Amino acid sequence: MDFSNPRFSKRKSSKQRSSNGKFPVKKFLSYYRPHLKLFTAVLVCAAIVSAASLALPLLVRQLTKETLANGNAFAIGEAVRIGTAMLALILIQNAGGYFVDYKGHEVGARMERDIRGELFAHMQTLSFDFHDRRRTGELMSRLTHDLLLLSELYHHGPEDYLKYSVRFVGAFIILFTIDAPLTLTVFAFLPVLGLLTLVFNKKLNRTLTHNKERIAGVNEQAEDSLAGIRVVQSFGGEKLENGKFGQANERFFRSRKATYRAEALFYNTFETVLQLITVAAVLVGSVRIAGSRLDLADLIAFLLYIGYLTEPVQRLAHMSSQLQEGVTGFQRFMEIMRTVPSVEDRPDARRLERAAGGIEFRGVSFRYDSRESETLNELSLHIRAGEYVALVGPSGSGKTTLCSLIPRFYDVQGGAVLLDGRDVREWTLESLRGAVGTVQQDVYLFGGTVEDNIRYGRPDADEAQIVEAARQAGAHEFIAGLPQGYRTEIGQRGVRLSGGQKQRLSIARLFLKNPPVLILDEATSALDNESEAAVREALDRLAVGRTTLVVAHRLSTIRGASRIVVLTERGITEQGAHDELLARGGIYAELYAKSFI
């Protein structure tokens, strides 16, 4: 097998697929497809509601004309007939409005659910190098705030466009048939409203963009401070954090203040122009009534219809802002969706069945994207199946990196990592990672119960298997003492448990997973002596019959390893048994002596 082949030796970074700089209209519209029937019903209903609203002023005009023309002779029956028709239109508007508002928002929520599920699933596939560069708070914002804005665009965009188009065009046609000169008088003001909307909308969009930047700063500062609350309080840094948060909060306040000022100026100016339109319509209409070219009923209808012409222009400001926010949210969604995992299955990848556990690093070179120098440079190491190997050396020498290459958390840039004699890139990621178990210093437990967290090692495990795994990990005794035993809620990240208890739960997960390859990455370095002894005993049981790699900080804990490998910036400088390395008096002997100082 030729490991110099570029398909093996070149390490990819998570990158984006080309978008050609165009908005993905086809992709944007594709989310309507699963809900097209309901969405079409909403649009049809919105058109009916708009048409019904257009008919109401016509009935008012007819009623007024009949009353003025016939006076007391106007039949009560005619009034009842017109009144009944008006009541029917109002009921149609009310029922249709309810359907459009309820089901329209439901369509938006359904699409938001679909997009959020797709985005979250894609985030799960993205490699470690992507998550190394992204803050959790930023990704959460993509999953929540951005998609809420997008949901509003999906629902309100087409619906509002249809509704206000029907009202505007219908009102213009009706008014033109009533009195063309008066209609043109009112229409002359609409360009002023349009220009006003465009000018202020640009300013509003700019302030809204600043708002997003400022609230992102508030969220970032809050996330930093609250996530590190233990450090903050242990160093008495509450005043410092309050000061930093206060600055970010003040910047957001000023940004919001500017937005409110722009909004107040826009809406009040717009309202003033609307009042001028009404005044102009009344004055011109009065002149035409005096000249017998218009009657009072027509003028009343005219005044009622003015809102149908001006409201769509007024809504344009909100719709334009909504469009920008929704489009921006979709572009941010697509930015993540276009990101290709740097580590993914090859087309011809095969499933790894039960692995024996032999591992080989053959001329491995690796460098993180953020570093200029290579962490590993043409490193070679062979580990026999079932062997217990310890990796030691100064910080930054590549111990954890070396272990991360086995389950392909990262891919090598040069050389190859082999499991059971085959390049790990030949196996599917799911089966490869199923064969490797990791216990780290920083244990991550999920919110939920003790039982939920242990079962994470094998989701189909029954209660008896979970209890047995806990016994093997030395965790059953303390679990039995918890208020609800295995069903006790442990809080986010297991905050209600001690460090040793959390570590033993993570070990129980691995007993349940039962992987042939085990990686222990400084698994006991953060524990007190009593907890370390209990965890060490559980780890020794876990390591039996497995290929085990231990990244050790406390060198006293790895004296029993069958082989100790010393890593430095120059690569592997020493390897051998504990006593053998001490006798050499080299780097390991120096590190071992320093560990007792």
More confident call, 166 vs 139: 166
Give the tens place of pLDDT for each residue, 384-431. 999 999 999 888 888 888 999 999 988 999 999 999 999 999 999 889
Mean pLDDT of 293-315: 81
Question: CA separation (Å) from 483 to 183, 414, 449, 474, 490?
Answer: 77, 52, 11, 18, 11
- Residue 385 has a pLDDT of 93
Is the pLDDT higher at 424 or at 9? 424
Average predicted confidence (pLDDT) for the chain: 83
Q: Are 130 and 342 in contact (CB under 8 A)?
A: yes
**What pLDDT is attached to residue 362?**
94
Cβ pair 410, 363 in contact under 8 A: no
Q: pLDDT band at 529, cuts 50/70/90?
A: low
Residue 343 confidence class, pLDDT cut points 50, 70, 90:
confident
How many other β-carbons are positioned within 10 Å of the β-carbon of residue 527? 20
Rounded percentage of the chain residues whose pLDDT exceeds 70: 90
- Mean pLDDT calculated for residue range 276-287: 86
Sheet of 436-440, strand order: 436-440, 517-521, 547-551, 388-392, 563-568, 571-576
Percent of the chain at pLDDT exceeding 90: 19
128-137, 274-283, 313-322 — which one is most confidently predicted on average? Answer: 274-283
Q: At what angle do helices 36-70 and 296-337 cross, to 10 degrees?
A: 170
- Which of these, 103, 98, 95, 94, lies nearest to 42 by C-alpha position? 103
| Per-residue model confidence (pLDDT) at position 234 | 66
State the pLDDT at residue 15.
60
d(CA 174, CA 285): 16
> pLDDT, tens digit, for every residue of 435-453?
998 887 777 888 888 998 8
The yes-or-no verdict on residue 9 having pLDDT over 70 is: no
**Between the CA of residue 251 and those of 211, 225, 330, what are the distances in Å?**
9, 18, 26
The closest alpha carbon to 60, from 70, 49, 68, belongs to 68
pLDDT at 462 over 70: yes
Of 35-39, 138-142, 529-533, the one with minimum mean pLDDT is 529-533
Amino acid at position 202, single letter: K
Once rounded to an integer, what is the mean pLDDT over residues 517-528?
A: 75
Between 129 and 461, residue with greater pLDDT: 461
CB 27 within 8 A of CB 334: yes
Sheet of 422-423, strand order: 376-383, 359-366, 414-419, 422-423
Would you say 338 and 16 are in contact if contact means Cβ atoms under 8 Å apart? yes
User: Is the confidence at residue 110, as pLDDT, over 70?
Assistant: yes
Q: Each residue of 553-563: pLDDT tens digit?
A: 777 678 778 89
Lowest mean pLDDT across 124-128, 132-136, 164-168: 132-136
Instruction: Tell me the mean pLDDT in the region 535-548.
Output: 84
Q: Give residue 136's pLDDT band: very low, low, confident or very high (50, 70, 90).
A: confident
Considering only residues 513 and 206, tell me which one the structure prediction assigns the higher pLDDT: 513
Give pLDDT tens digits for 222-280.
Answer: 877 877 776 777 667 788 888 888 888 898 898 888 888 888 888 888 888 888 888 88
* Dihedral class, residue 210 (left if φ above 0, else alpha if ψ from -120 to 50, else beta): alpha
* Predicted pLDDT of residue 1: 43
pTM of the model: 0.72
CA distance linking residue 176 with residue 159, whole number of Å: 26
Mean pLDDT for the stretch of residues 75-94:
84
Is a pLDDT exceeding 80 seen at residue 72? no
Alpha-carbon distances of 83 from 49, 56, 59, 79, 90, rounded to whole Å: 18, 10, 8, 6, 10
How much is the pLDDT for 214?
Answer: 81
Strands 422-423, 376-383: parallel, antiparallel or unpaired by DSSP? Answer: unpaired
Q: How far is Cα 256 from Cα 522, in angstroms, rounded to an integer?
A: 48
- Determine the pLDDT at residue 361: 94
Residues 345 and 562: their CA atoms lie apart, in Å, by 34
3-state class (DSSP) for residue 4? coil
In the predicted structure, residue 2 carries a pLDDT above the cut 60: no
Residues 414, 378 contacting (CB under 8 angstroms)? yes
Domains of the chain, earliest start first: 23-177 (1.20.1560.10), 443-514 (3.40.50.300)
At 123 the three-state DSSP class reads helix
Q: How far apart are CA 222 and CA 220, in angstroms?
A: 5
Q: What is the pLDDT of residues 476-505, one digit of tens each?
A: 888 999 899 999 888 777 778 888 888 888
Mean pLDDT, range 448-475, rounded to an integer = 89
Q: Give the integer Cα–Cα distance in Å for 198 and 507.
A: 62
* CA 413 vs CA 115, 165, 382, 420: distances in Å: 34, 58, 19, 21
pLDDT, mean of residues 2-16: 47
Amino acid 75: pLDDT: 60
Please report the pLDDT score of residue 317 as a whole number: 61
Q: What is the pLDDT of residue 74?
A: 58
Two tokens at 61? 């005009």
Rounded distance between C-alpha atoms, residue 419 and residue 427, angstroms: 9
pLDDT value at position 4? 40
